[in-house]
Structure 1
Amino acid sequence: MRASRLLTILLTLQNRGLVTATELAEQLEVSVRTVYRDVEALAAAGVPVLAERGPAGGYRLLEGFRTRINGLTNDEADALSLAGLPGPAAELGLGAVVASAQLKVRAGLPAELRERIERARPRFHLDAPGWYREADRSPELSRIAGAVWTDRRIRVHYRRWAGEVTREVEPYGLVLKAGQWYLVARIAGAGERRDRTYRVVRIEELHVLDEVFERDPDFDLAAYWEDWSREFAEQLRPIDTEVLLTEDARRLVRPMFGAHVADVVEASAGEPRPDGRVRARLPIETVEVGVAELLRLGPGVEVLGPPELRAAIAATARATAARYG
Structure 2
Amino acid sequence: MFLAWFVANQEYSEGRHLTYAEFPSKFTYYPDKRKWHPRQRGFQIGRLSYIPVGSGELYYMRILLTFQKGCKGFNCIKTVDGKLYDTFQDACYALGLLSDDKEFIDGIFEASRSQSGQMLRVLFVRLLIMSTMHKPDNVWKATWKLLADGILYARRRILNIPDLRIPESDLQNLCLIEIEKLLMCNGRSLKDHKTLPYLVFDELLAQPNKFIADELNYDKDQQGQLHQSLLEKLTDEQYDVYATIMKSVEGQDGQFYFLYGYGGTGKTFMWKTLSAAIRSQGKIVINVASSGIASLLLPGGKTAHSTFCIPLKINEKSTCNVKQQDPRAKLLRETSLIIWDEAPMMHKFCLKHLTVLCVI
TM-score, normalised to structure 2, is 0.21
Structure ID, larger Rg: 2
Q: What TM-score do you get using the length of structure 1 for normalisation?
A: 0.22
Choose between structure 1 and 2: higher strand proportion: 1
